[in-house]
Structure 1
Amino acid sequence: MLKKQLLTLFSIILCSHVIIAQDCLQTGLSDNFNFRIITIKGLNEDSLVHTIKLELLIIDKIKNVEVQKIEFNAEETFDADFDDCSNIRSYVTGLNETDEAPDNDYGDFIVADFNFDDKEDFAIKKYWAGGSSGPVYNYYIQDRAGKFVKDSYLSEEVEFFPSKFDKKRTSLQVIVPVGACSIAKHVYSFNTRINKWKEKSHRLKSYCKK
């Protein structure tokens, strides 16, 4: 079965120079699910940036059965992305939660409760934004039926991973380096009554001396 999956993914990126397969089974990120991440990476012309075909299998931890499969492409990632199965983080189980995040990189795959409904959600790396700004992520939120659905606002408007979760105020704080001397601090608030996000504040702070 795995060989068939890899051959299917291989045919999508034949034009790339290098093919690298990675198969990671993550069992310590969630109380309810295991996550199997299968990636195939194609090296582009500059030998630094990759196009990745990713297949995510979500497995019920108690029944040990696959409950959902998600497939997508992650473009413009660097050579180290999705190479290390330990480059993960969980704000549910606490795995690697307090690790540093150099260049705003919180990991390839992260489990957390992003919309404050006490259900497990996840973020997965999409591409690098450039410089020290770090990677941006696709966010998947668990719906009432227990399926993971891509959240358009978090994935397309917020993108960067939050440095702070404020459950009391149902808000996320995102800090993004801007150039060499400034940071942008965004606060996004979630209205749990109408299930909508909005940007609550946006400040630009310079810390270089004149």
Structure 2
Amino acid sequence: MKSLIIFCGILLITGTSEAQFKFLANNSSDQYKAKIFVDKCEGNACGGKATIIVYDKITNREIDTFHSEDLDFGLTESQNAKLGWLELGKYQTPLIFGDFNFDGMEDLAIRNGNNGAYASPSYEIYLSSKENKFVKSGELTKLASENLGMFDFDKKTKQIAIHQKDGCCFDKTINYKFDAKNVLYEESSVIEDSSIADMVTVITQKMVDGKMKRTVQKFKMKDYYNQ
């Protein structure tokens, strides 16, 4: 009976391994590479539950393992996921590496479905630690999951920007920075509202001496968008 249980367990593991599609992400980072195992690939679309194993690019040492409920990404017409290990292009992979909190260490964003505004891509954010492990950031994951896709991050200004939209005529960009204690705060925002006739109302807010300064400007639509 014991032998039968072990044999069935081996069959289950083998079946699970064969059912998964396997990918390599070797060109998305200067420091890391990854192996990706995902449940579903139909046509040019892959997704579903996935496991991601991240390795040091130089030493090949395994760094960390992650899981996604829906690692949604696409393939080109020439790529066939059924042929075994398939290498993904730099901008094709559902992993985004970058220094999101501007501490000099490379962090990781992992695609997790389309839960953002207007069914846009959503990501879970993991920050690199000095122990060569990644720690999930709740506040950055929220920014990357509840707005229009992944946030922008600018190394020069050390600023994170999210984008929001409400219908055809309301767009908002919010810019965040980290303070000296590495606490995220809203540094500025810009609202563009073109819902009234042929006018665009621009509302700008910016943190000045610890207080948010607000300005409102109105432009002719043709003049504003031709600037």
TM-score (norm 1): 0.67
- Decide whether the 8 Å contact of 1:121 with 1:142 is kept in 2: yes
The alignment yields a C-alpha RMSD, in angstroms, of 3.4
CA 1:86–1:132: 2 relative to 1, 3 Å: farther
Between 1:63-72 and 1:29-38, the stretch displaced more is 63-72
- Take 1:36 and 1:56, find their aligned partners in 2: how far apart are those partners? 6
Written as runs of structure 1 = structure 2, the 5 A alignment for 1:1-210 is 4=13, 7=16, 21-41=20-40, 52-74=48-70, 81-84=72-75, 95-96=90-91, 108-129=94-115, 132=118, 134-159=120-145, 160-163=149-152, 165-191=153-179, 193-207=180-194, 210=197
Answer with 1 or 2: which has the greater Rg.
Answer: 2
- Take 1:185 and 1:60, find their aligned partners in 2: how far apart are those partners? 35
CA 1:72–1:162: 2 relative to 1, 3 Å: closer
CA 1:58–1:128: 2 relative to 1, 3 Å: same
TM-score (norm 2): 0.62
List gaps (5 residues or longer) in structure 1.
Answer: 11-19, 44-49, 89-94, 97-105
- Decide whether the 8 Å contact of 1:87 with 1:108 is kept in 2: no
Q: SS where residue 142 of structure 2 aligns?
A: helix
List gaps (5 residues or longer) in structure 2.
Answer: 1-9, 76-85, 198-227
Q: SS where residue 135 of structure 1 aligns?
A: coil
- Decide whether the 8 Å contact of 2:117 with 2:164 is kept in 1: no
- Identical pairs, percent: 25
Residue 131 (structure 1) shift: 6.7
Structure 1 residue runs of 4 or more that deviate by more than 6 Å after TM superposition: 85-88
Deviations 1:88-118 (A, max 9, x none): 6xxxxxx54xxxxxxxxx9622111100011
CA 1:73–1:208: 2 relative to 1, 3 Å: same
Residue 22 (structure 1) shift: 2.7
- Decide whether the 8 Å contact of 1:133 with 1:176 is kept in 2: no
